[in-house]
Chain A
Amino acid sequence: MNESYNYLLKFLIIGNAGTGKSCLLHQFIEGEFRNDTTHTIGVEFGSKVVQVSGKNVKLQIWDTAGQERFRSVTRSYYRGAAGALLVFDVTSRESYNALLQWLTDARSLASPHIAVILVGNKKDLENDRQVPFLEASRFAQENDLTFIESSALTGENVEEAFLKCARTILCKLESGEIDAERAGQGIQFGDAQLRRVRADGRKTGGPLSNCAVCNTS
């Protein structure tokens, strides 16, 4: 429960309903494919500590429901997110067409600097593919995203997607592109603050809990 980590990053998983967001999260955390087909209700929460460039990074992941009626709920969780997995289903043109809307949401509600990884999920269903790799790749380039194709079923590229996102954020932090001290970006520095927050029962909502950088190890 008290894993030590150097960084705490808040991640979002967004995209249309049925693209496999929860399955990606489950595959990432539990290392297995979840076979039940229920839709996510509201948001689900998961966390995992991973090693990124020699540092322990705790990912705090918000897996959001893709359905329209949850839009207002899930939007309230965008604030201060450091990274996002924007997921579409390579076998669904509709989910691909919705990407721009999701991206706009993420950039305007979370932070313009949010590190977004575009994930084309269900790459195992090659025969049903509706979105060619190149097309999605071009979309990613145009919108300054990193693109990766994954399969929550086989586990291919799932961890990579999360790690890539974490790595991007750390790079930005180290290069000074993101300033962890500027609250506007939802990133806070300092272990003292974080300890206080944790002792407080992890205060809600505010930027403190979102993306904190600390040295608890």
Chain B
Amino acid sequence: MSVDVVVKNDAPNEEDWLIPSADVVEETALSAPGGQLADCFDSPRKNTTGTIARIEKGDVDDSSLCEQEDQSASSSNEDAVSEVDADRVISPIEPPPQPQRSISTEETTDALELLKEHGKHVFVMSEAGKPIYTTHGSEEDLSSLFALIHALVSFTTARNDTLDSFQYGRLTICFTHRGPLILAAVSRVGESQSQLNAQLDLVHSQILSVLTRTALLRVFEQRGHNFDLRRLLQGTEKSLGTAVVAAETDPAVGLNAVRVLPMVSSDRDALGQAIVSSVNACKVKNLVFGVIVVRRQLVTMVRMKKYALHPADLHIVLNLVACNPSFKNVESWSPICLPRFDDSGFLHAHISYISDNCPACLLLLTVDRHAFYALSEVKKKFVEKLTKSKSIAALTAACNGTRCFDLDELGYADLWHFVYKNRTSSQLCSAMFRPPFISSDERQRLIDSYARLVDRVHDRGDDGPLKILFQPGERQTLLAWVTPNFELYSAFSPFVQKQSAVSKIDRLLKALKKEEDRLFLVSTQTF
């Protein structure tokens, strides 16, 4: 049985990374555990704090680490948690049998059972090991698992090292230690380490977006390491969860690109102009971005000359709108931190839907916290202009129209699907799903294979991405094509020949080029 443990040093050196698996595992498992954690699962909470206290004192107790691992490993016999058991199996010294090994509380058993139901979990905790967030289940029920993760991370940190990931079979466990937070992702759906890291990054950004990095650091400084951050994150569980789901189900998130609503370019320009002229008419200063979005797609955007909106920040905005249907009824005014733009402070967002009949949402982002009334006026003026010029009808029609590229227009039977990313503008266009991708499972499977394809193309260290990858498969043949200007990932029938696939992609690219100004936001207006 082999276990790959990748431990990353501060000064990474490709060869040094790969410490022979036994090393680390042996260390954790060497000393036979004492009985002091035997009551671990009787009162998981108490135990968590116990562990924290020990680590804060600085003497990380190897035996306790080992035993925790052992305990949770023994808690289930298969799947996610038991995979850790593998570490135990190869440990040279078998710990003595313990009378209280089995899980004694029903809640913990249920909680660990729950882990098996899902393919992936994300955990967030404070540096002191206090649970902050878990994608499934409640933090309390899983506190023993939080303690285990915390112990693993602290163990390496205490040795001036960084724990990056574990790999065991199909199970990948990634860790990220950032600022006052520790994040971990456990996946057995075949996601790669870099994908999981990107998703942890996303969760981290989501947390920053409601607190700012400055406030996050300050709160632990002022209220102590034991502060329960959940108090401040109350109400954001949903948006954290949907951000993770979006990362799994929408290739745009993983590719760091934004989907754009297909729309006649003159109509799109009219919207941008209407925002700019409304802003000018109301003499509003300090507006940084004006964005119109609909269903996780960008319609148009205007911005202050000096600033650009990073796709990762835009995804935070899209996620905010997608998670809060309550914006539909009223005008809202909310602080939002866009970490790529500035992670130390808030922008203030005026959020409102354009009209009752139009599903598009307008966001006006400013640095002035008192600008609500001014922006409310801008919005009114903007809607007036749209109504007068009939642009509102064009916008509504576009919102209700096709959201993707229709491959039927090209008429290639064996080109099944594609995802195209414009690398200069970080915008994305994909094909409408069509047979054989009918059920959501089949679609998800395709998206997963794209993700692996992206990984294969890009994850090549200093060599840079592959240019073309043709990958015949049983279910479908995948073709990736990467140039400095674009990335294209496509799925063909398994019977396609390389030559024919390439020539079809060639023609697809021409078709995309021809429709560029309908499918993409070609220019953004500034003020």
Q: A: which residues have CB within 8 A of B?
A: 1, 17, 22, 25-26, 29-30, 34, 36, 38-46, 63, 65, 67-70, 73, 76, 201-205, 209
Contacts and interface: CB of A to CB of B under 8 A. Distances in A.
B377 A201 contact: yes
A45 B371 contact: no
Nearest to A41: B334
Given A45-B372, A68-B234, A34 B332 contact: no
Nearest to B335: A73
Contacts, number: 98
A201 B283 contact: yes
A40 B326 contact: yes
A46 B233 CA distance: 25
Contact of A17 (B235, B327, B332): B235
A204 B333 contact: no
Contacts of B320: 41
Contacts of B374: 201-204
A39 B323 CA distance: 10
A165 B196 CA distance: 53
Contacts of B368: 204
A70 B330 CA distance: 18
8 contacts: A22-B326, A38-B238, A41-B326, A41-B351, A43-B334, A63-B330, A69-B233, A205-B370
Contacts of A68: 231-232, 234
B330 A25 contact: yes
A42 B326 contact: no
Contacts of B335: 42, 70, 73
A183 B367 CA distance: 27
Nearest to A46: B330
B373 to A, nearest CB: 4
B499 interface: no
B410 interface: no
A4 B106 CA distance: 63
Contacts of B16: none
Given A41-B324, A42-B333, A67 B283 contact: no
A38 B233 CA distance: 14
Interface string B305-340: 000000000000000100111110111111100000
B373 A209 contact: yes
Nearest to A79: B370
A65 B235 CA distance: 10
Task: For the complex of A and B, list the 7 residue pairs with the smallest distance between their C-beta atoms, beginning with the closest.
Answer: A42-B334, A39-B235, A205-B370, A201-B377, A202-B373, A69-B232, A45-B331
B376 interface: yes
B329 A34 contact: yes
B210 interface: yes
Contacts of B324: 38, 41
Given A42-B334, A201-B283, 9 more contacts: A41-B320, A42-B349, A43-B334, A44-B326, A46-B329, A69-B210, A69-B233, A70-B334, A205-B370
B329 A76 contact: no
B334 A73 contact: yes
A203 B373 contact: yes
A188 B284 CA distance: 24
B468 to A, nearest CB: 45
Nearest to B377: A201
Of A29, A34, A42, the most chain B CB neighbours within 10 A belong to A42
Contacts of B349: 42
